[in-house]
Amino acid sequence: MAEISDVFFVDGVRTPFGRAGEKGMYWNTRADDLAVKATIGLMERNAAVPADRIDDVAIAATSQTGDQGLTLGRSVAILAGLPQTVPGLAVERMCAGAMTSVTTMGASIGVGMYDFALAGGVEHMGHHPIGGNADPNPRFVAEKMVDPGALNMGVTAERIFDRFPHLTKERSDRFGMLSQHKVQAAYDAGKIQPDLVSVATKGADGAWGLATEDEGRRPQTTMEDLAALKTPFRPHGRVTAGTSSPLTDGATMSLLAGGGAVKEFGLAPKMRMVSFAFAGVQPEIMGIGPIPSTEKALKKAGLTIADIGLFELNEAFAIQVISLLDHFGIADDDPRVNQWGGAIALGHPLAASGVRLMIQLAAQFAERPDVRYGLTAMCVGLGQGGSVIWENPHYDGKKKK
């Protein structure tokens, strides 16, 4: 008989993230091959888990076409050498694709249907620009359901400034600058590298290389640099390239397990799933989506925002993160938030990013036995938010000295 089970995040890995476009390191690499590399790396690192015990593989992509099409979970599982008895599926929730892979597989584990699952995402924004293959229904605009600007994420970010005038461009610029500095500090301290899977790449000249770290970082960024940048989404606007996540290619993969499977194989999970929630908001101002999804997830968990000791918030735009922090009364530079920087520096390969947040939170939990709960949250195109609350298995109840 199936029994209700705890859901554990056993492990997660990702490829280094590359700049999208012809000059990026993955221009000549297929999207599905990025996901294959992450899957192989994850399985090699968790050799105690028999591959034939994986119950399902969920892989997200926003543009499910070309080298990101063909039921990614199944095709990547076969390409990665998993037994053909292992099934797979594809997931699509724009930016929250990988997060939805995790919550969907986690729910299946939670009701006792699965013991193990792989969940992740891939996005090759160089090959597949956001919305490039989409044909939005004309009724959206004709019947005034959605403002035409809602499909331009930068325009939606500008609207957060319009709605909350006290959230200034200067605050946004500072947040963007600090993200770059924090990512570099994390790299210098060796925090990011352990969870990266190297990828062989082929340059435009045919020369082979090895992708070992995230390509888009700009650690020298200053406030002066950011103040001088153009505002591409409107004249005299407040959103710039320096306060937005760059267009990025990359893949992420996680291993999830139920309580029985963890016991059976003597695994040491990195996190336990406490609750998750998704919420919808006006598409025109999609950046505030994680506010209601976080409130829902907290309510389901019986927690308050004060219980959250670490935050991994996807930096689609600096203003988007600041709007959530402001809502919950958290300072822009609170040390609990994005300790190792975020997507402004690392990049945001849409459907892959949710698991990157989880990988970083899991690594921080290991260092922080004084923290019991952490949050991964993100905004989602077309007006949604997604939030997952996690518990730290290393928690010892002692306050940090």
The pLDDT of residue 401: 61
The DSSP secondary-structure symbol of 229 reads S
Helix count (H) and strand count (E) of the chain? 12, 12
Checking if the pLDDT of 309 tops 80, the result is yes
The pLDDT of residue 205: 83
For the question of residue 127 being annotated catalytic, the response is: no
Instruction: For tokens 């300072």, name the residue.
Output: 331
For the question of residue 394 being annotated catalytic, the response is: no
Q: What is the mean pLDDT of residues 314-340?
A: 97
In three-state secondary structure terms, 105 is helix
The pLDDT of residue 146: 86
Output the DSSP codes for 166-221: TS-HHHHHHHHHHHHHHHHHHHHTTSSGGGB--EEEE-TTS-EEEE-S-S---TT-
Candidates 354, 379, 130, 126; CA nearest to 252 is 354
Catalytic residue among 95, 124, 127, 128: 95
Q: What is the pLDDT confidence band of residue 301, given thresholds at 50, 70 and 90?
A: very high
Least confident of 200-204, 246-250, 317-321: 200-204
Catalytic residue among 124, 127, 128, 348: 348
Checking if the pLDDT of 162 tops 90, the result is yes
pLDDT digits (tens, 9 = 90+) for 124-149: 999 998 877 788 888 988 898 888 88
pLDDT digits (tens, 9 = 90+) for 362-381: 999 999 999 999 999 999 98
pLDDT digits (tens, 9 = 90+) for 43-94: 999 999 999 999 999 999 999 999 999 999 999 999 999 999 999 999 999 9
For the question of residue 236 being annotated catalytic, the response is: no
| Rounded CA separation 401/329 (Å) | 24
Amino acid at 234: R
- Percentage above 70 pLDDT, the chain: 100
The pLDDT of residue 147: 83
Q: What b/e string do you get for 54-76 counting C-beta neighbours within 10 Å, with b at 16 or more?
A: bbbbbbbbbbbebbbbeebbbbb
Amino acid at 187: Y
- Percentage above 90 pLDDT, the chain: 89
Checking if the pLDDT of 35 tops 80, the result is yes
Q: What is the mean pLDDT of residues 331-346?
A: 97
Domains of the chain: 7-127+246-390 (3.40.47.10)
pTM assigned to the model:
0.97
- H helices of 302-396, in order, are 318-327, 343-346, 353-367
Question: What average pLDDT does the chain have?
Answer: 96
Catalytic residue among 124, 127, 128, 379: 379
